[in-house]
Amino acid sequence: MAHSFHHAQSSAKRFGGEPQDYQAIHDFMDSSKSTYADFRHRAILHSTFGIFITEQVFGVTITNSDGKKIPVRIIAEQHVREDHNGKIPTVEEWLHGIPMEAWMNPSPAFQRALMESIAE
């Protein structure tokens, strides 16, 4: 979906209540758009791990305006499925396609110098 508001509308239709009951969760899920404004932003929170992070941020459940308790994990899963053709990717699936760069794995010499610089 193009915007977190549309996810919130979808949640309200599925779980009851109003879109604003769900907006903060969907805004959080899409917050990585602020740093990377194409679909690749989803690699940050649109995964099994991101779903659990969302639950840690918002708690296990929210209570919507109809008074129903809705599991945050289910709301986050819905968001990810809507953006990935029904799939919930793992972090491994996202990272598998990223080529290794030298800066990602510091050299032993760099690590040794760092450790020496902080040694007492």
Residue pLDDT, tens place only, 103-119: 888 889 999 999 999 98
Bridge partner residues of 62 (DSSP): 70
Helices (H) and strands (E) in the chain, counts: 7, 2
Domain residue limits at 95: 4-118
**Tokens of residue 23, six digits:** 């907006």
pTM (two decimals): 0.87
* pLDDT > 80? residue 1: no
Q: How many separate domains does the chain show?
A: 1
The model's confidence at residue 54, banded by pLDDT at 50, 70 and 90, is very high
- Mean pLDDT within 78-91: 96
Give every CB contact of residue 46 below 8 A, 6+ residues apart in sequence: 29, 79, 80, 83, 84, 89
